[in-house]
Amino acid sequence: LYDTYGFPFELTQFIAQERSWSVDSEGFQRCMNEQRQRSKTNTTKSIVQAKVLTDLKTEFIGYDHWLMPQQATLLDDVTIGDKTYLIFDKTPFYAESGGQAGDVGDVTFDRNNKLKIVNTIRQNEAILHELDAEATKHFFELKAKQDLKGPWTLTVDRYHRIPCSVNHTATHLLHAALRKELGTAVKQMGSKITAEGLSFDFSYPYSIDPSQLTNIELTCNNYIYGRDPVQFEELAKDQVPSTCIHQFDDKYGDKVRMVTIKGSNGSILSQELCGGTHVQSTNFIGVFHITSCQSIGSGIKRIEAITGSKALAYYRELEHEVHQLEQQLSMPLGKISDAYQKLLKQDRRKGTFLEKALQAHGGQCLKESTHDGLRYIQWEAHVIDPNTYRKACKAYLGNHPDIDVLWGATQDNEGSIVTVFLFCSQAAIAKGVQAGAEIQAFAARCASKGGGKPDFASCSVAEAAFKQHWGTILS
């Protein structure tokens, strides 16, 4: 977290402490020392790379010129760790920044050669295009033959860029909706914007109830349905209006880019400094759906959301599951909740009824004992259907959670065969008392067979053998 993402170690300790987790501080320090040693070992290489990355500059043309392939000049290639990057004089590829994922796509050269770009990052003024493993191998094969011929044509994968832009604009709308619903004290703490969805971290010391989340989602969708234009403006730092949300730090140069979304009445819905890519109008987002809201630290919340086709796919899947549920239950969605509550009441009444039925059929507790902290019960009923008896035993256990092991037995109508049941709680199983093994042992003593799972097992034995061994179970 610290080395790759710059996540403060102190914040890791704080979050871990809240969750009663331990943090290996000595291990962290040891790894940091090892990293410093590796850095010293690679000093010469790093100096060379740093000089290359300091001297080179890439012009980003990806705000306006990314839909069509763009020609560029290859300036250099750089290997950092196990990754190889290409640097061009200009590029339509957006470099990972501001929480937004870098562009992917491909670069073609000498007509028939194509290299796959799997990520784009920025180092100083240079934009680095990361090659995948196969492209890296092909690139160095041609480089060794001095066969790297232009022209170089860069093509951004629109099926990655468009949803990233959609989700970035949606993140701005979410920020605005949060401030509207929860108050202007809400402050952005971080974000992650990909083609799959978005997450937004923000400061808020109170819990957020479902009705507030519903209002936030509804506000975002109302902004989307407003078909409001997204406006972009470059201006000097001292020209930034006080209403604009920003955090001036080293990442901003003398010129900044302001992204503004205004409502139909001219009021500002959202206004932030941002270098990311966005859609031209809010209606391009389509639909916005919050998938989760959770606390990730003291006073820090995280909302995750999906948009556009991802949200529609989610709704379609949800609709399919609801339709299946309606078919299986033979009732419309609006009646399922009431039916479920009714079923719960019936189940409670059924449990009481079965326990009474057990007693009415001559059920009686023959013996009770405690061993190794487990409570054992031996129960016998006369002439009751085994299936009903099993359910009655389960109901009895449900009403008596302090019982860990329940032996039960019932005879058939003729009295010649006895069915024996054994129920074991999770506490009993944890201490090695498993229903399947115990029933097998009892059945073997009765010259019969039986079995089952750790929590429930049964067997059927002859009456004579049953009478001989039943009384010794809890001895």
Per-residue pLDDT for the chain (475 aa), expressed as one digit of tens each? 666 555 666 667 767 766 667 788 888 888 877 776 655 554 344 444 555 567 899 999 999 999 888 999 999 999 988 999 999 999 999 999 989 999 999 999 987 899 999 999 999 899 999 999 999 999 999 999 888 888 899 999 999 999 999 999 999 999 999 999 999 989 999 999 999 999 999 999 999 999 999 999 999 999 999 999 999 999 998 899 998 998 655 466 789 999 999 998 999 999 999 999 999 999 999 999 999 999 998 899 999 999 999 999 999 999 999 999 888 888 888 888 888 777 766 655 554 554 555 554 445 566 888 888 899 988 776 646 677 777 777 777 777 888 899 998 887 666 678 889 999 999 999 999 999 999 999 999 999 999 899 999 999 999 889 889 988 888 7
Query: CA–CA separation, 289 vs 308, rounded Å?
Result: 9
In a domain, 349, yes or no: no
How many structural domains are present in the chain? 4
Strands (E), 308-384: 364-371, 374-381
Same domain, 437 and 460: yes
Q: Are strands 70-72 and 374-381 parallel, antiparallel or unpaired?
A: unpaired
Q: Which two tokens stand for residue 237?
A: 């730092």
The answer on 248 and 117 residing in a single domain is no
Residues near 282 by Cβ (< 8 Å), separated by ≥ 6?
A: 169, 173, 223, 224, 226, 227, 228, 229, 230, 261
The amino acid present at 280, given as its one-letter code, is Q
In this structure, the strands spanning 364-371 and 374-381 are antiparallel
Are residues 241 and 98 located together in one domain of the fold? no
Whether residue 337 lies inside any domain: the answer is no
Domain assignment of residue 113, given as a range: 49-156
Q: Which of 426, 475, 408, 469 is nearest to 444 (CA)?
A: 469
200 and 168 together in one domain:
yes
Q: For residues 340 and 39, give the distance between their C-alpha atoms in angstroms, rounded to a whole number.
A: 63
**CATH classification of the domain holding 200:** 3.30.980.10
Task: Give me the phi and psi of 278, to 5 degrees please.
Answer: -140, 170
pTM over 0.75: no
Contact 256/244 with Cβ under 8 angstroms?
Answer: no
What's the confidence (pLDDT) of residue 43? 39
- Distance, in Å, from the CA atom of 259 to the CA atom of 98, rounded to the nearest integer, reads 13
Is 426 in the same domain as 463?
yes
Q: Is 102 contained in some domain?
A: yes
* 184, 281: one domain: yes
- 180 and 257 both lie in a single domain: yes
- CA 380 to the chain's CA centroid: 50
Does residue 326 belong to any structural domain of this protein? no
CB atoms within 10 A of CB 273: 19
Q: Are 282 and 224 in contact (CB under 8 A)?
A: yes
Residue written as token pair 């919050």? 290
Residue 104 covered by a domain: yes
Residue 338 lies in a domain: no
Residues sharing a CB contact under 8 Å with residue 415, sequence separation 6 or more, in sequence order: 383, 463
Same domain as 305, residue 273 = yes
280 and 362 in a single domain? The answer is no
| Residues 149 and 66 occupy one common structural domain | yes
The answer to whether the beta carbons of residues 166 and 279 sit under 8 Å apart is: yes
Task: Please report whether residue 436 resides in a domain.
Answer: yes
The sheet carrying 417-424 orders its strands as 364-371, 374-381, 405-411, 417-424, 456-462, 450-452
Q: Are residues 88 and 190 in the same domain?
A: no
Please tell me the distance from the alpha carbon of residue 78 to that of residue 311, in angstroms, as a whole number. Answer: 39
Residues 58 and 36 in one domain: no
